[in-house]
């Protein structure tokens, strides 16, 4: 339903709610608050249209690694029935088209002001309102502030000596311009995470020469991106009630049943068979979580999985020296990667691998990149696939001030920490979608859960005539401690990755996620609601 809203319900405010962000989270928040609840909502996005992450990440090969049937919203049966796709995974243009359709279907664009950055937001204790200021100097006020700034959207672009003297083109995958043609060029790529491996696979057949600057070798399993026919898609549609029920009660929410078998109880030879089947089925999360329930918990089972992948690398990559460089030395505990024949790319004559852990990048020259050993790679273009300042990167760019003028930057000086991944003590009526200490999953079902909880909470406040809500500091500290305890039961903290902020020089390492799974997370949200929000302070 699309509702026409004419006036604010909040005296003295321009709007009832301000939403920042036009990705999955922001769009759903506008829909829930405006169309379902009849609130007067204003939304902003820096981009020229909807899409969020999928608006900016238009790099060659961009693909979701969540299967097509569940990389979408679940809240609208008709929208689910309209869904269509070609292959097991959605490409970036397909996801962007999907989000555009969602925006059309629910008339969401009419609430948005695009090409507009929010530069500051301030909570006024006297009026109980949030005030935002845009980069154009406009101001607006509202009772509720909902931030859908993106978990992985503030780009990380490391600086290198001499970069300004480089005569070629430089691109970052997270801000990819339209109309780039790299065919026939000598291209360098820095970074081999989920993004880098997709770009490498897509560009290798197009460019004259591709030089991969790899700092950490990666465990990559096949993605299994085969075509999906109408019959298969119809079967998903016919079973969506059970599918979404399962997803929302699962851990990683990737649309498969996670293993309940402990690998530690299974002989090594049998583990090998299970890993081989998973390798054939494809999917990074499937390989880590559908095989055994302790790949990311038990050192021994993790080593089995890692050794299995290492043996695959040795088999696939023809040059033993390149295979050696591609073989990871650390544990298998980053967000799992998957792609189509990643290691096979290195058998191509036009692809070379520079191990910049052994021989670091010393500087950019006018012609390319020089390594510490003195080797210079001449390049027409360099791609930074160097990832994101995850979770808080976009928050700390905005001057966000809560009670007493406390800034979010100060609050997060020891790393971004929050209550239920959505709220902060001293920041009343501010709701973050995918904020710190939220679930680590396939994101659409998690952010749907959050937006629905936010919307219920706001509805309760309005029904009860409340002015403000915020968590107690004790509740927030206890939630952060829960996140820490759960994370320490896994192997994830032992690997250096963006999950704990380790990829950004100078960023404090922090437990930024709730690794207890979506099902348990949803139960936690339910119990906060059922308790009458006893962990909250109301005004």
Q: Which of 425, 432, 421, 511 is nearest to 473 (CA)?
A: 425
The distance of Cα 263 from the centroid of its chain, to the nearest Å, equals: 28
Residues 6+ apart with CB under 8 A from 180: 171
User: Which of 25, 193, 418, 444 lies at the binding interface for ligand N01 (CB under 6 A)?
Assistant: 193
Angle between helices 240-249 and 443-464 (to 10 degrees): 80
152 binds ligand N01 (CB under 6 A): yes
- Note the residue count of the chain: 539
Eight-state DSSP code of residue 257: P
190 binds ligand N01 (CB under 6 A): yes
Q: Which of 162, 160, 167, 210 is nearest to 60 (CA)?
A: 210
- Tell me the closest approach of the beta carbon of residue 89 to ligand N01, in angstroms: 8
Q: Contact at 8 Å (CB) between 331 and 494?
A: yes
- Measured CA distances, 32 to 9, 353, 462 (Å): 16, 48, 15
Taking 3-state DSSP, the helix, strand and coil percentages for the chain, each rounded to the nearest 5, stand at 35, 20, 45
User: Which of 150, 387, 416, 517 lies at the binding interface for ligand N01 (CB under 6 A)?
Assistant: 387
- Tell me the closest approach of the beta carbon of residue 337 to ligand N01, in angstroms: 8
Residue 230 to residue 81: CA distance in whole angstroms: 12
Structure tokens at 321: 């020296």
Half-sphere exposure for 279 (CA within 13 Å, toward CB):
17
Residue 6 to residue 3: CA distance in whole angstroms: 10
For residue 240, give the 3-state DSSP assignment. Answer: helix
63 binds ligand N01 (CB under 6 A): yes
- Tell me the closest approach of the beta carbon of residue 478 to ligand N01, in angstroms: 27
User: Which of 109, 185, 215, 281 lies at the binding interface for ligand N01 (CB under 6 A)?
Assistant: 215
393 binds ligand N01 (CB under 6 A): no
**Which range touches ligand N01 (CB under 6 A), out of 242-250, 347-355, 386-394, 518-526?**
386-394
Mask: binding to ligand N01, 420-449, rule CB under 6 A, as x and -?
A: ------------------------------
Q: Which of 21, 18, 42 is nearest to 148 (CA)?
A: 21
Mask: binding to ligand N01, 102-141, rule CB under 6 A, as x and -?
A: ----------------------------------------
**Which range touches ligand N01 (CB under 6 A), out of 100-108, 231-239, 380-388, 422-430?**
380-388
User: Which of 9, 113, 114, 158 lies at the binding interface for ligand N01 (CB under 6 A)?
Assistant: 158
User: Which of 88, 105, 237, 335 lies at the binding interface for ligand N01 (CB under 6 A)?
Assistant: 335
User: Which of 39, 295, 353, 385 lies at the binding interface for ligand N01 (CB under 6 A)?
Assistant: 385
Structure tokens at 174: 């997270």
User: Which of 16, 45, 65, 424 lies at the binding interface for ligand N01 (CB under 6 A)?
Assistant: 65
386 binds ligand N01 (CB under 6 A): yes
Q: Which of residues 234-293 bind ligand N01 (CB under 6 A)?
A: none
Residue 431 to residue 421: CA distance in whole angstroms: 9
**Which range touches ligand N01 (CB under 6 A), out of 123-131, 365-373, 379-387, 455-463?**
379-387
Q: Which of residues 476-505 bind ligand N01 (CB under 6 A)?
A: 498, 503
Q: What are phi and psi of 53, to 5 degrees?
A: -50, -40
- Tell me the closest approach of the beta carbon of residue 12 to ligand N01, in angstroms: 41
- Tell me the closest approach of the beta carbon of residue 123 to ligand N01, in angstroms: 31
314 burial via Cβ count (<10 Å: 0-12, 13-18, 19+): middle
CA angle (446, 534, 456) in 5-degree steps:
40
Q: Give whichever of 309 and 356 is closer to ligand N01, judged by the CB atom.
A: 356
For residue 89, give the 3-state DSSP assignment. Answer: strand
Q: Give whichever of 65 and 294 is closer to ligand N01, judged by the CB atom.
A: 65
**Which range touches ligand N01 (CB under 6 A), out of 110-118, 193-201, 273-281, 413-421?**
193-201
195 binds ligand N01 (CB under 6 A): yes
Residues contributing to the site for ligand N01 (CB under 6 A): 63-65, 152, 158, 190-196, 215-216, 335, 356, 385-388, 498, 503
């Amino acid at each position: 339903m699309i509702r026409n809203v004419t006036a604010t319900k909040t005296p003295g405010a321009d709007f009832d709610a301000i939403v920042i962000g036009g990705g999955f989270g922001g769009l759903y928040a506008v829909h829930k608050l405006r169309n379902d609840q009849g609130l007067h909502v204003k939304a902003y996005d820096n981009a020229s249209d909807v899409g969020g992450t999928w608006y900016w990440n238009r790099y060659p090969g961009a693909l979701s690694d969540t299967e097509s049937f569940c990389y979408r919203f679940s809240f609208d049966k008709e929208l689910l029935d309209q869904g269509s796709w070609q292959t097991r995974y959605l490409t970036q243009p397909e996801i962007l088209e999907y989000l555009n359709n969602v925006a059309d279907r629910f008339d969401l664009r009419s609430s948005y002001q695009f090409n507009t950055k929010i530069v500051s937001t301030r909570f006024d204790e006297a009026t109980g309102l949030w005030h935002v200021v845009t980069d154009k100097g406009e101001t607006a006020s509202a009772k509720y502030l909902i931030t859908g700034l993106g978990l992985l959207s503030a780009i990380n672009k490391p600086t290198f000596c001499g970069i300004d003297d480089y005569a070629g083109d430089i691109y970052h995958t997270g801000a990819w311009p339209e109309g780039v043609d790299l065919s026939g060029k000598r291209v360098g790529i820095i970074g081999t995470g989920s993004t880098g491996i997709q770009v490498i696979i897509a560009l290798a057949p197009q460019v004259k020469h591709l030089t991969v600057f790899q700092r950490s070798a990666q465990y990559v399993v096949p993605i299994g991106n085969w075509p999906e026919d109408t019959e298969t898609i119809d079967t998903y549609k016919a079973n969506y009630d059970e599918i979404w029920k399962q997803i929302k009660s699962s851990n990683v929410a990737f649309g498969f049943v996670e293993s309940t078998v402990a690998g530690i109880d299974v002989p090594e030879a049998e583990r090998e068979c299970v890993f081989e089947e998973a390798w054939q089925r494809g999917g990074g999360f499937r390989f880590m979580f559908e095989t055994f329930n302790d790949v990311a918990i038990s050192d021994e089972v993790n080593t089995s999985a890692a050794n299995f992948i290492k043996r695959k690398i040795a088999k696939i990559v023809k040059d033993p020296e390149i295979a050696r460089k591609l073989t990871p030395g650390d544990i298998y505990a980053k967000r799992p990667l998957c792609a189509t024949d990643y290691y096979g790319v290195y058998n191509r004559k036009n692809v070379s691998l520079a191990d910049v852990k052994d021989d670091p990048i010393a500087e950019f020259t006018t012609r390319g990149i020089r390594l510490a050993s003195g080797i210079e790679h001449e390049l027409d273009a360099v791609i930074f696939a160097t990832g994101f300042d995850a979770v808080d990167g976009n928050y700390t760019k905005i001057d966000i001030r809560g009670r007493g003028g406390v800034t979010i930057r100060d609050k997060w000086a020891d790393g971004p920490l929050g209550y239920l991944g959505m709220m902060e003590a001293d920041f009343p009526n501010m709701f973050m979608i995918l904020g710190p200490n939220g679930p680590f999953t396939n994101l659409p079902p998690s952010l749907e859960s959050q937006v629905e909880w936010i919307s219920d909470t706001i509805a309760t406040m309005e029904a009860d005539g409340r002015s403000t809500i915020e968590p107690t500091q004790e509740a927030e500290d206890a939630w952060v401690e829960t996140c820490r305890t759960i994370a320490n039961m896994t192997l994830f903290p032992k690997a250096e990755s963006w999950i704990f902020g380790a990829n950004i020089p100078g960023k404090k390492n922090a437990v930024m996620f709730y690794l207890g799974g979506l099902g348990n997370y949803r139960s936690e949200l339910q119990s906060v609601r059922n308790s009458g929000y006893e962990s909250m302070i109301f005004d």
